[in-house]
Copies of this chain bind each other. A is one copy, B any other.
Amino acid sequence: MSEAEDTREEPRRPDQDKLQQHLKEVQVLLARHRRVENLVHRQDMPRHDLVEGLLHKQHLAELQTRLDGYHSADVAHILESLPLDERLLVWDMVKADRDGDILLEVSDAVRESLIETMAHHELSAAVAQLDADELADLAPDLPTEVMEDVFRNLDTEERLQLRSAMSYDENAVGALMDFDMVTVRADVSLEAVLRYLRRFDELPDQTDQIFVIDREDHLHGVLPVNTLLIKDPDTLVESVMRRDALTLRPEDKADTAAQAFERYDLVSAPVVSADDKLIGRVTVDAVVDYIREEAEAEQLAQAGLREEEDIFASVWDSVRNRWQWLALNLVTAIIASRVIGAFEGTIEKLVALAALMPIVAGIGGNSGNQTITMIVRAIALGQIGEESQRRLYRKELKVALINGVVWGGLLGIIAWWLYADWRLGLVMTSAMTLNLAVAALIGVMIPMTLQKLGRDPAIGGSVMVTAVTDSGGFFIFLGLATLFLL
């Protein structure tokens, strides 16, 4: 990552407050600037022109100075926290040589809004300083002409790297990979390695190990920097290098790599081809970003938000981002409504059922979602084998029965008390227990089935569970009532 070259202020304290303060300073300056602009627009007096022009310039100059002092990641944060018009004003004031870095840092939605306003030649210039792996990250958002420009300006090696980085799925290790590596041969002394390193102006960030390769780029081992530092300089690399270090393939799942980083506390890992040639490395900062993004995407997906939504997105973008989920839920709600419709005769005779039925459906949904959340997590951690499935069904069913008797029993008593009908109470208790059992079964079955079908069990499962417990709950409750109360 190019933070290495970013010599601007990195805050000495990580205070969220500090960041908020940056943001506020910018907002104050923007507000002043706007006020002056309004003045200029309203009273078009030539006399004032000069003064206001100066004021105007002064605010912008101050803003510029502030922005220049902030770390790229902080500028990105400020851009994300401003509404579109102010965002673009600030974006215009950022020094062109930082554009590329900042584009890398902002969220997808904000990036889109920034790129839209840039001319092709500006974009080409902005991304010209980026590394191949960073270019690959931006590539999907860049216009074709800009990408052509970019390719034209790369040397052969970088072109190959860019092509290779762009060829991988975004959930593959290839997409996390960078090409900033330090490599040495196995048959040299540590002293020679130390001398070699002193020729660098700086080492790539996150260089915790040096890769040991032969003439054909085959990876033979890794030399941890910590080993390099503590061993006698006369030692040969091959006698202290680690041969058992974890290696990744570009087509490995990013998630598997992330788990390995977490499990074995890695800072970097080499990426090799099928014939063991070193092609890149993955560093922990890319992994941290990946973990955070995945967790966020999952949370958003659980509420049916297709992508991260820029809070200042247009109303129209928001509607588009959310409509599929609403449509899906509408369908399941209509189905549940038709289930109720089939029992209208029953409800007409005993209107208390209408008031009680949402409880049965709702608690079933809550309980089913608890089960599926737990199972999805266990699947993600690889804890569920063939053998454990039946055990899980049994356990969840038992939990459901206990809850059914306890909570269903309580509700039965409440229903009895409210409507002075012990049979209604009994139907309530039985329906609750049955629907909780349905919720338990479906809460285990759906994620297991999704996984067997090769789909992500974390996505969509919750809607299905709720659909089943809603329609199922209404059917069970109203069905039992029809059988026993009429």
Contact = CB atoms under 8 A, between A and B. Distances in A.
Interface string A290-322: 011001101110111100110110010011001
Given A225-B229, A229-B225, A319-B399, A206 B265 contact: yes
A98 interface: no
Nearest to A232: B198
Interface residues of A, number: 143
Identical subunits present: 2
A322 B288 contact: no
B16 A264 contact: no
Contact of A355 (B288, B340, B388): B340
Most buried by B among A24, A358, A373, A392: A358
A207 interface: yes
A286 B257 CA distance: 17
A329 B366 contact: yes
Interface stretch (A51-59, A133-141, A150-158, A239-247): A239-247
Nearest to A80: B383
Most buried by B among A14, A232, A259: A14
A459 interface: no
A289 to B, nearest CB: 7
Interface string A370-392: 10111101100111110110011
Given A73-B264, A230-B198, A319-B403, A391 B9 contact: no
Nearest to A383: B81
Contacts of A403: 319, 322-323, 326
Contacts of A309: 374
B334 A388 contact: no
B230 A201 contact: yes
Interface string A122-151: 000000000000000000000000000000
Nearest to A9: B244
B245 A12 contact: yes
A431 interface: no
A222 to B, nearest CB: 11
Given A80-B383, A385-B20, A264 B10 contact: yes
A256 B16 contact: yes
Given A284-B288, A305-B370, A388 B312 contact: yes
Interface stretch (A34-42, A113-121, A161-169, A341-349): A341-349
A352 interface: yes
A187 interface: no
Contacts of A192: none
Interface in A1-53: 1, 3, 9-16, 19-20, 23-24, 27
Contacts of A300: 373-374, 377
A439 to B, nearest CB: 11
| Overall SS of chain A's interface | helix
A235 to B, nearest CB: 11
Contacts of A481: none
Contacts of A429: none
Given A14-B259, A73-B263, 12 more contacts: A10-B244, A202-B227, A206-B267, A288-B291, A291-B291, A291-B295, A292-B295, A303-B372, A311-B388, A326-B407, A329-B363, A333-B359
Interface of A: 1, 3, 9-16, 19-20, 23-24, 27, 71, 73-74, 77, 80-81, 83, 194, 197-198, 200-203, 205-208, 225-232, 244-249, 252-253, 256-257, 259-265, 267, 269, 284-285, 287-289, 291-292, 295-296, 298-300, 302-305, 308-309, 311-312, 315, 318-319, 322-323, 325-327, 329-330, 333-334, 336-338, 340-341, 344, 347-348, 351-359, 361-363, 366-367, 369-370, 372-375, 377-378, 381-385, 387-388, 391-392, 395, 398-399, 402-403, 407, 410-411, 414, 418, 470, 474
